[in-house]
Structure 1
């Protein structure tokens, strides 16, 4: 089973919070797959990662660029197949309510959702309940004054 961490965005938008989390993944030598809710979001996050000031270098790719196997961060809108991430990522980042039928293929899953969007919060609660019922290890993080704070789920 995967370890799933829910990240409740309350202070910054996704395009500002995601680069820092991906920077932490890269700092551990990890690789990440970012599963987006749409191709438009893939394009927007692609641009945000190139323009990110902190960290200022997030090597990544998208299906439009190709060569997933060479990219430590890969953004796509389609779920992975039974063979896992095209870039061999062990971290899966879910945004826009995206979900994967293959969560157990990953060591860690980060589910980011917008706290200002009530529908997104309700959808995250449903994903939490489903993940708990499936036996995944869960944690809940919320943005606070000094960064991410682990809360009781």
Structure 2
């Protein structure tokens, strides 16, 4: 599922999607490309919102394997059923195929991320994986394209 961010921050969309994944009792690996960015996300997930709690950990701790949500740069380290990608992080069709869900969150105002997401769409759908493209241009999330049976 590709999420084209134009109004929301990645942190806001990630929190929403991660909450839904945890409600399904899925473990999630959230993969980024920059350790400092993941550390900032880690802090944001602990602090916001004040009335919520999203159980998670930052890769490199003693309990990586049992984290409901693991934030990291590398391979899935928590037996996750779902993978969330931010900031242009990569996934191969082989890695994506056995997962329940893969989310690609990308900043539509960042040309590098936009081009990276287009390349990922072509690679994943070209390998026969089903995909959905969601946009928030209208002010709410709307599915704009779908391939296969996502």
8 Å Cα contact 1:20-1:54 kept in structure 2:
no
Q: Deviations over 1:91-149 (max 9, x none)?
A: 10011110123222312100000011122111111111111111110100112556321
Q: Unmatched 5+ residue regions in structure 1? A: none
Q: Across the two proteins, how many residue pairs are aligned to each other?
A: 144
TM-score (norm 1): 0.86
Deviation per residue, 1:10-47 (Å, 9 max, x gap): 11111222111111111111111001111112211111
Residue equivalent to 1:118: 111
* Unpaired runs of at least 5, structure 2: none
Q: Deviations over 1:77-100 (max 9, x none)?
A: 11x2xxxx3211111001111012
TM-score, normalising length from structure 2? 0.87
CA drift at 1:66: 2.6
1:67 alignment partner, one of 53, 63, 77: 63
- Name the residue aligned to 1:138: 131
2:141 to 135, 148, 151: 148
Q: Hey, which bits of structure 1, 4+ residues long, moved more than 6 A?
A: none
| Cα pair 2:7 2:139 within 8 Å, conserved | no
Q: Which has the higher contact order (CA 8 A, sep 6+)?
A: 1
Residues 23, 55 of structure 1: 8 Å contact kept: no
User: C-alpha root-mean-square deviation of aligned residues, in Å?
Assistant: 1.8
Structure 1 Cα separation of the partners of residues 124 and 11 of structure 2: 25
